[in-house]
Amino acid sequence: MFKEEQHFEIDPRYKQAAREAWIGIIVFFLNIAWWFAFAYGLGMRPPEEYSYVLGFPAWFFWSVIGSFVIFSIVIYLVVTLLYKDMPLD
């Protein structure tokens, strides 16, 4: 089909971008798993048996407020430790 064989050099930025995308997807699914485990794990009991953290039901505190705080720290650590700054030009 081609008269001469063409050789393409793969840009290493593609490999890094794919790695960072997979890290982002993994953190996303960990966040969903955390939310699901605490929201449904602690929230499936009758309301009379709920324990409370700072005035919130424990299932709400750990699935919403706790996950926000914990995954904000996780995302900060992932971005600073695993992501690389690279030129896009």
Give pTM, 2 decimals. Answer: 0.79
Q: Where are the domains of the chain?
A: 20-81
Residue 19: per-residue pLDDT? 94
How large is the angle between the packed helices 12-43 and 66-81, nearest 10 degrees? 160
Question: Is it the case that residue 86 has pLDDT exceeding 80?
Answer: yes
Distance of alpha carbon 21 from alpha carbon 11, whole angstroms: 16
Q: Over the stretch 20-55, which tens digit does the pLDDT of each residue have?
A: 999 999 999 999 999 999 999 888 888 888 899 999
